[in-house]
Amino acid sequence: MRPVPTELISKSLPEPAPTHQIRALEAFKSPAYRYFFGGQIISLTGTWVQNVAQQIVVYQMTGSELALGLVACAQGLPAFILAPVSGVIAERFSRRRILIGTQITMMLRALIMALLHFSGVLQIWHVMLLSVGLGVANALDAPARLAFISEMVGKEALPSGIVLNSIMFNAARIVGPAFGGLVLRWVGPSWCFLFNGLSFLAVIAGLILMHLTPLPHKRATTSVITQFREGLSFSRFHPEIAPLLILSA
Given a cut of 80, whether residue 118 has pLDDT beyond it is yes
Query: Is 21 part of a structural domain of the chain?
Result: no
Q: What is the pLDDT of residue 9?
A: 43
Domain count, the chain: 1
- Number of alpha carbons in the 13 Å side-chain half-sphere of residue 82: 20
pLDDT, tens only, 15-57:
554 544 547 788 888 888 999 999 999 999 999 999 999 999 9
The answer to whether residue 218 sits within a structural domain is: no
Q: Is residue 10 part of a domain?
A: no
Model pTM score: 0.80
Asked whether residue 176 is domain-assigned, the answer is yes
Query: Could you give the CA distance from residue 233 to residue 114 in angstroms, rounded to a whole number?
Result: 45
Which residues constitute the domain of residue 185?
30-210
> Do the domain assignments include residue 221?
no
CATH number where 152 lies: 1.20.1250.20
Q: Considering the domain boundaries, does residue 189 fall inside one?
A: yes
CA distance 24 to 33: 14
CA distance 28 to 42: 17
- Whether 19 is in a domain gets the answer no
Which pLDDT value is given to residue 98? 94
Nearest-angstrom CA–CA distance, 204 and 100? 6
DSSP structural state of residue 239: T
What is the Cα–Cα distance from 24 to 14, expressed in whole angstroms?
A: 20
